[in-house]
């Protein structure tokens, strides 16, 4: 049966000051009326039942996740004791899913992506499940056709086409996973036509990914096995904390994808955005005739190319600004040039260094 694993433990520091430790980006309604997490679950439709959805998050976020997803059983929301990147998160999920269903097929989805055309997304998921049925030891991922030479995404190089029925989305053998490239390299990728952006969405048999982790990350797998052995016993929490903390974190791309041989990539038939920064809002929420993206109450004079986000009917007035970012929250306000928005992550570190935890 198909099980969905949603990774919802990120900090979302690029979206400070709206995204905070207690309510990070995946728990915010940045695009549309529903939160990113709620949209991710709703997007699954009837592909899975609530009992077959597992959310892996940070332990401090468990109450907030439960509040947003009341239909999920309590056991379906698991809080990691510390951040250890995607490979340990996915390995833990695979162990827990296997306890419920030893022959499970797993879909792994980040909680903070935006996807249009939900029907096409569900059709592509069904296509991926069918591919795994034909080859149970296969991994399937989704590639996004690049629209510009992004330096912030990983890339997937496609190989030979996989022959499937005519109305299916184009599917290819994966030749290589490539990490975030330089602008020159990314430009070459886009011009070649043979590369996709890596969406970070994967499907596989739970036992397939566990076997791959056992082969390529034996030390990590040993810790995960101990967690699985103690799960459901009085020792569960203590073992979970000690063993998970002992894992050296790494991404699933480094841990498995760059080594695994039997991977297929489906060209995503839907619009996708990783919502990686405030500038993403311009792509998704649109712009006015002055190229401004406005969310909330704003009055602008001689303002062009700005992104303004405000809450609680707080009025933001801008005069003579160009290509700026203004984000107002009740506790903090950010003003920056759009080109400098990557420095927002450094601001968070500086707040930590100063002990100004009330703004984190």
> pLDDT for 200-237, tens place per residue?
999 999 999 999 999 999 999 999 999 999 999 999 99
Taking the C-alpha atoms of residue 113 and residue 159, their distance in angstroms, rounded to an integer, is 26
Least confident of 46-50, 166-170, 324-328: 166-170
Dihedrals phi, psi of 340, to nearest 5 degrees: -105, 15
Q: Which residue has the tokens 């909680």?
A: 111
Give Cβ neighbours of residue 267 (< 8 Å, ≥ 6 apart). 142, 143, 145, 169, 170, 171, 172, 196
Mean pLDDT computed over 42-60: 97
Residue-wise pLDDT tens digits, 249-265:
999 999 999 999 999 99
Given a cut of 80, is residue 266 above it in pLDDT?
Answer: yes
Taking the C-alpha atoms of residue 123 and residue 280, their distance in angstroms, rounded to an integer, is 26
Q: What is the pLDDT of residue 105?
A: 98
What does pTM read for this prediction?
0.92
Give the alpha-carbon dihedral of 206, 209, 215, 220, to 10 degrees: -90
Q: Is 355 exposed, middle or buried (0-12, 13-18, 19+ CB in 10 A)?
A: exposed
Given a cut of 80, is residue 286 above it in pLDDT?
Answer: yes
Domains, in order of start, for the chain: 2-273 (3.90.550.10), 280-359 (no CATH)
Given a cut of 90, is residue 152 above it in pLDDT?
Answer: no
Q: How far apart, in Å, are the Cα atoms of 145 and each of 49, 81, 115, 190, 295?
A: 30, 36, 14, 9, 28
Q: What is the pLDDT of residue 11?
A: 86
Q: What is the pLDDT of residue 344?
A: 87
Q: Express as a percent the part of the chain with pLDDT over 70.
A: 100
Taking the C-alpha atoms of residue 237 and residue 345, their distance in angstroms, rounded to an integer, is 32
Report the chain's mean pLDDT, rounded to a whole number.
94
Dihedrals phi, psi of 191, to nearest 5 degrees: -65, -30
Mean pLDDT computed over 99-128: 96
Taking the C-alpha atoms of residue 24 and residue 65, their distance in angstroms, rounded to an integer, is 11
User: Per-residue confidence at 311, pLDDT binned at 50, 70, 90?
Assistant: confident
User: Per-residue confidence at 62, pLDDT binned at 50, 70, 90?
Assistant: very high
User: Per-residue confidence at 345, pLDDT binned at 50, 70, 90?
Assistant: confident
Token pair in block for residue 324 = 């700026």
Least confident of 113-117, 166-170, 236-240, 336-340: 166-170
Q: What is the pLDDT of residue 295?
A: 92
């Amino acid at each position: 049966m198909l099980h969905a694993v949603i990774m919802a433990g990120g900090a979302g520091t690029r979206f400070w000051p709206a995204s905070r430790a207690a309510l990070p980006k995946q728990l915010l309604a940045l695009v549309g009326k529903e939160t990113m997490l709620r949209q991710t679950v709703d997007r699954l439709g009837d592909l899975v039942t609530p009992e077959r959805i597992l959310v892996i998050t940070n332990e401090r976020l468990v109450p907030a996740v439960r509040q947003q997803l009341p239909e999920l059983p309590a056991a379906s929301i698991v809080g990691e004791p510390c951040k250890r990147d995607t490979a340990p998160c996915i390995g833990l999920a695979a162990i827990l899913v296997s306890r419920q269903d030893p022959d499970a097929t797993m879909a792994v989805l980040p909680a903070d992506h935006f996807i249009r055309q939900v029907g096409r997304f569900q059709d592509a998921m069904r296509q991926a499940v069918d591919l795994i049925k034909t080859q149970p030891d296969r991994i399937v991922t989704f590639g996004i056709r690049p629209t510009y030479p992004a330096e912030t995404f990983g890339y997937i190089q496609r190989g030979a086409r996989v022959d499937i029925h005519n109305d299916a989305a184009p599917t290819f053998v994966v030749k290589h996973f490539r990490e975030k490239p330089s602008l020159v390299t990314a430009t070459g990728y886009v011009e070649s036509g043979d590369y996709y952006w890596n969406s970070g969405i994967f499907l596989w048999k739970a036992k397939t990914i566990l076997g791959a982790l056992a082969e390529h990350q034996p030390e990590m797998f040993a810790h995960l096995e101990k967690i699985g052995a103690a799960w459901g016993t009085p020792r569960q929490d203590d073992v979970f904390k000690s063993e998970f903390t002992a894992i050296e974190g790494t991404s699933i791309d480094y841990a498995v994808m760059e080594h695994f041989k039997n991977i297929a990539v489906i060209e995503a038939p839907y619009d996708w955005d990783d919502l990686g920064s405030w500038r993403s809002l311009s792509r998704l929420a649109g712009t006015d005739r002055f190229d401004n993206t406005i969310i909330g109450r704003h009055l602008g004079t001689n303002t062009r190319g700005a992104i303004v986000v405000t809450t609680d009917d707080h009025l933001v007035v801008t005069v003579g600004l160009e290509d700026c970012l203004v984000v107002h929250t009740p506790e903090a306000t950010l003003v920056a040039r759009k080109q400098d928005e990557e420095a927002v992550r450094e601001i968070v570190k500086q707040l930590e260094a100063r002990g100004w935890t009330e703004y984190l």
